[in-house]
Structure 1
Amino acid sequence: MPLTDRIDSALRDAIRRGQGGLAPRQLASALDYATTPGGARIRPTILVSVAMACGDDRPALTDRAAAALELIHCASLVHDDLPCFDDADLRRGKPSVHRAYSEPLAVLTGDSLIVMAFDVLSRADADDAARALGLIRALSDRTGMPNGICAGQGWESEPEIDLRAYHRSKTGALFMAATEMGALSAGHAPENWTDLGALIGEAFQVADDLRDALLDEASLGKPVGQDDLHGRPNAVAKLGVEGAMARLGDILAGAIASIPSCPGEAALAQMVRKQAQQIMPKVPTRARSSV
């Protein structure tokens, strides 16, 4: 089964469970709206790819982990778009959840997706209980404080930003969760995989900075120029377009070099290269020379 089919099937199962019973109709609908269409599903794809490189001896648990990670990511997007943060009208080319359903329902949607992520992991089979507990710990560490995406959002309210800590939490945390949780799903030590996730996260941040600075709203599927608007650190502002592109290439090379020795090392390196092609922005020649 293709990786995207595995991920989407596990995600649909989780959403259906959240929509069951006498659930409020609008909130149940918003859960599906917030998670589909799913974009590139980069984080869960990395998770499953790492698990496969490590043997993927318990694929049902891997699929649960991938769904849980994507649920957290989708929740973070719903919350990021709220008026109290980015106040974004678009996400993935359609109205953001608070525009489509209302601000109160968007808050509840994000909250529900977070709870759902941990519920998915808690329902692992008894034989997988020890690994599931490790997955819960890894995901909670990369979601909350002090190392997770909540910390990343919190840095934006500080008078002075520690740029490395900000990017590591805001963007890198869920990529580190992806590599760590992929290893945990297959019974491998997560700490050996943290560097790979951190480097992929750093690469994604630089690529996102380039897209934010250079693409239009139609191409990006969400508002552009957000870093300048909110006064956030940006690799393009610091390094220029050529410098940011060079930095992105260096980070991706380092990510491939950091892959631990494992049975599927070559296939995993190829996956990283493929993901790099997806996130690498196509920069117009005029933009290269003018920024």
Structure 2
Amino acid sequence: MGVSQRIDTAITRAIRLGQDGQAAPKQLADALMYACTPGGARIRPTILVSVAMACGDDRPEMTDAAATALELIHCASLVHDDLPCFDDADLRRGKPSVHRAFSQPLAVLTGDSLIVMAFEVLARASAVAPDRLAPLVSLLARQTGMPHGICAGQGWESEDKIDLSAYHRSKTGALFIAATQMGAVAAGQDSEPWYELGARIGEAFQVADDLRDALGCEESLGKPAHQDEVHNRPNAVAALGVEGAVTRLTDILSGAIASIPSCPGEAMLAKMVRLQAERLTPGLTPVRV
């Protein structure tokens, strides 16, 4: 089973358990699956599984649980981000956003349910490697909430004065840091050496997202374009120009590869980072790393 199929199978299994057949409210149950499928690129869980495999992946059930939990948190954040009180986006992944398809109350409940489900998935896998559960829960919680997680990232948009570095690190980098560190822990390794790789990939993703938002269109992105300009958000294209942003992206990705800790799958991870770079920048100036 390939990494992509492995991730999708684990996520679908978790959502099915969360829907609980006829005992659950049908619309909310349907909204859970709608919010997570189709899954887009699944970049974050792919990174997590790739790191775990590079470190030996001696407890694949724990790796699958960690990857699923991370993706559920990511999907929850997208549901909440699209709400009228935030981005007020009508589209996500080429289809109506959850609040457009199911209503605003159900979208709030969907995001909340996915967050709770993420930690339930981890708890359910605890018997596989009990000593790894607490670090995984701690890492995911830290990169989800305050003061440095994705909640903080959204919170920065309500401030009059924005710390750009902290904003990008929280809004985008947090779940990439979670991906690399949780992948290592799921495989029984120390999380700390993997922080820099996650932070660099997260920074690269933010710059690439800024480029796509500035240069793309709604049809190609599967969501509204030019949102940074509409919402007057700080972004790499406004600060550096298109060519400067592409150069910055190349530099970040080169640094990401150089930061990969020594491990049996080091070469494989470098290849994965290059592949993700290509996926991040479709139709843009090729990024060489």
Fold conserved (TM > 0.5)? yes
Match of 1:100 in 2: 101
Quote how far apart the aligned CAs of 1:209 are: 0.2
More displaced 10-residue stretch of structure 1: 273-282 or 46-55 = 273-282
User: Aligned partners of 1:283, 1:266: CA distance in 2, in Å?
Assistant: 26
Match of 1:27 in 2: 28
Quote how far apart the aligned CAs of 1:204 are: 0.3
User: Aligned partners of 2:98, 2:209: CA distance in 1, in Å?
Assistant: 21
C-alpha deviations, 1:28-68, integer Å up to 9, x for none? 00000000000000000000000000010000100000000
Match of 2:18 in 1: 18
User: Aligned partners of 2:126, 2:278: CA distance in 1, in Å?
Assistant: 37
8 Å contact 2:90–2:223 — kept in the other structure?
A: yes
User: Aligned partners of 1:64, 1:70: CA distance in 2, in Å?
Assistant: 10
Match of 1:287 in 2: none
Quote how far apart the aligned CAs of 1:70 are: 0.3
Match of 2:184 in 1: 183
Quote how far apart the aligned CAs of 1:281 are: 3.8
Identity fraction in percent: 74
Give yes or no for the alignment of 1:205 onto 2:206. Answer: yes
User: Aligned partners of 2:228, 2:10: CA distance in 1, in Å?
Assistant: 34
Match of 1:153 in 2: 154
Distance 1:187 1:110, change over 3 A: same
Structure 1's unaligned 5+ residue stretches are: 285-291
Q: Aligned to 2:129, what secondary structure does the other structure show? A: helix
Q: How does 1:106-255 map to 2 (within 5 A)?
A: 106-255=107-256
8 Å contact 1:142–1:177 — kept in the other structure?
A: yes
Match of 2:3 in 1: 3
Match of 2:268 in 1: 267
Match of 1:288 in 2: none
User: Aligned partners of 2:145, 2:91: CA distance in 1, in Å?
Assistant: 25
C-alpha deviations, 1:82-124, integer Å up to 9, x for none? 0000000000000000000000000000000000000000011
TM-score by length of 1: 0.96
User: Aligned partners of 1:9, 1:132: CA distance in 2, in Å?
Assistant: 21
User: Aligned partners of 1:238, 1:46: CA distance in 2, in Å?
Assistant: 28
User: Aligned partners of 1:112, 1:83: CA distance in 2, in Å?
Assistant: 19
Q: Aligned to 1:57, what secondary structure does the other structure show? A: coil
More displaced 10-residue stretch of structure 1: 83-92 or 120-129 = 120-129
Structure 1 stretches of 4+ with a deviation exceeding 3 A read: none
**Count of aligned residue pairs for this structure pair:** 285
Q: Aligned to 1:84, what secondary structure does the other structure show? A: coil
8 Å contact 1:44–1:67 — kept in the other structure?
A: yes
TM-score by length of 2: 0.97
8 Å contact 1:207–1:281 — kept in the other structure?
A: no
Q: Counterpart of 1:10 in structure 2: which amino acid?
A: A
C-alpha deviations, 1:127-155, integer Å up to 9, x for none? 41110111100000000001100000000
Structure 2's unaligned 5+ residue stretches are: none
C-alpha deviations, 1:6-48, integer Å up to 9, x for none? 1011101110011105100000000000000000000000000
User: Aligned partners of 1:87, 1:96: CA distance in 2, in Å?
Assistant: 9
8 Å contact 1:65–1:135 — kept in the other structure?
A: yes
